[in-house]
Each structure stands twice: as structure tokens, then as C-alpha cells.
Structure 1
Amino acid sequence: MRKKVEIDQEAVGQRMREEREKLGISRGELAELVGLSDYYIGQLERGERQMSLPVLVNISNCLHVSLDYLIFGKSYNEAGFINDSGKIYETNNKDNELNDLLNKCSFNELHLFKKLIKTILPYIN
């Protein structure tokens, strides 16, 4: 018999709020991006409502975080981030803010940033 997993809606909502604020977007902007009302987003962030799986997926995609992080508060691999290609990016960087932002990127986004950095670097010095 499987053990029933309880989901802490308040903790999920708090993580949603924290990630939204890290991205610098308002509750209304998040609501617009996922096609919901800002009142409903507020209820989710306070843990007053339980969201459906499609809403949870849309929000996690919009916030660039994994479902397991939103639900359980930890990433699939605490030692690093695994992107679409399966490559692990270590999280032992000194620049945590930059690392956090890069960890939220898809493989294609990371590839684009790599190209941009290679283009810009010669002009910095």
C-alpha cells in the first residue's frame, strides 16, 4: 500500500511568491501570463486554494522552476540543475544570483546565452 503524500499548499504558495518576486514580476503580471486573475494568484500564494495540475505546470513554466521544487521545496538533484539535454550544471558557484538565473534556463536559452557571451567578451576589455 502506498503512503499518501500530503502537499503543503501554504509552502507551495510561498515558493511561488518567492520565485515571482525573484523575477521581479507583480502578481498581476503573473496572472496575465498564466491566464488567471490576480485575486486567484493571491489565493494560491496564501495557500487558500488548491490548483489543478495544468495550472501548476503553467505557473512552474512561467517562473522557470521545476514542479518538484514548487511542490516539495527541493530540486530533482540538489547538487546541480539538470537541463533538457541531461547535462548537470553545478551549483557551487560564488555568484549565486547568476547561477540561480542560469539554472532556470532551458537548454536552448543556455545555448543562446553562451553565444551572446562569446560575442560580447572581446568588447569588454
Structure 2
Amino acid sequence: MKSKYTSTSDFLLEIGERLRERRYELHMTQAEAAELLELSLSFYGQIERGNRRLSLENVIMCRNKLMIDPTYLLTGIRPLEIGISNYLKDCPKEKRYDFEQLIKYAANLYKN
């Protein structure tokens, strides 16, 4: 499978742009985001500009602290806005089994 990126710098630049978008959504400054992620302001700014890369640990930190989906952060592919897990979490215990069976049935229909 051929990558859409012509260089590593393009890839890093897009990650930085998605991180910046999320920071704007949260109404945070770079300094606030850097502190939250336990990074230096300089390093965080370089990530947003596409000059530095995030470690795996920092990707997980972004997920936990900024609530940004790692798949979206790295690829730009957005997850479903409302996941099945959210419905399951909010489902009353007495109806959870029925809900799980419904999801399994739907998944089987989708496969066929």
C-alpha cells in the first residue's frame, strides 16, 4: 500500500496540525497544552510545527489528557462520533445482554 505522504516531514506536519486543532477546540495555549502533556513548551511547539515527532508514550498522553483519538492523531481518520461502547456503558444492566446480542446480530448481518 502506497503512503499518501511524500516525506516524513509531511506526516509530522499533519500530526502537528491535528494536535493544534484539538488544542484550539479546548481553548488552550501552547504553554497549557505542554504543561498538561508534561512536555517543555519548546518541544511541544516543535511538534505542532512538524519539526519533532511524538513518542508512543506521548501519543497515549495526548489520548489521556487531550482526549484525542490516537488513530485520528496519527492518520487523520476520525472515529465514529458516538461509539457503541458509549451506548453500552450507559445501558441499564438488565438490558445489557439484549443490547450485546443486538450488536452481534447486526455485526453478522454486516459481514454477510
The TM tier, using the shorter chain, reads 0.5 to 0.7
* Structure 1 residue corresponding to 2:75, chosen from 72, 75, 83: 72
* Structure 1 residue corresponding to 2:12, chosen from 9, 18, 21: 9
**Match of 2:51, SS?**
coil
Deviations along 1:27-61, whole A, 9 cap, x unmatched?
11111111110110100001101111001110232
Amino acid at match of 1:66: D
Q: Which runs of 5+ in 1 are unaligned?
A: 89-106, 109-125
Q: Which runs of 5+ in 2 are unaligned?
A: 91-112
Could you say which structure has the higher helix fraction?
2
Q: TM-score, normalised by structure 1?
A: 0.58
In the TM superposition, residue 15 of structure 1 has moved relative to its aligned partner by 0.5
Q: Which has the higher contact order (CA 8 A, sep 6+)?
A: 2
**Match of 2:82, SS?**
strand
CA RMSD of aligned residues (A): 2.5
Distance 1:21 1:40 in 2: 18
Which residue of structure 2 lines up, in the alignment, with residue 58 of structure 1? 61
1:34 aligns with 2:37: yes
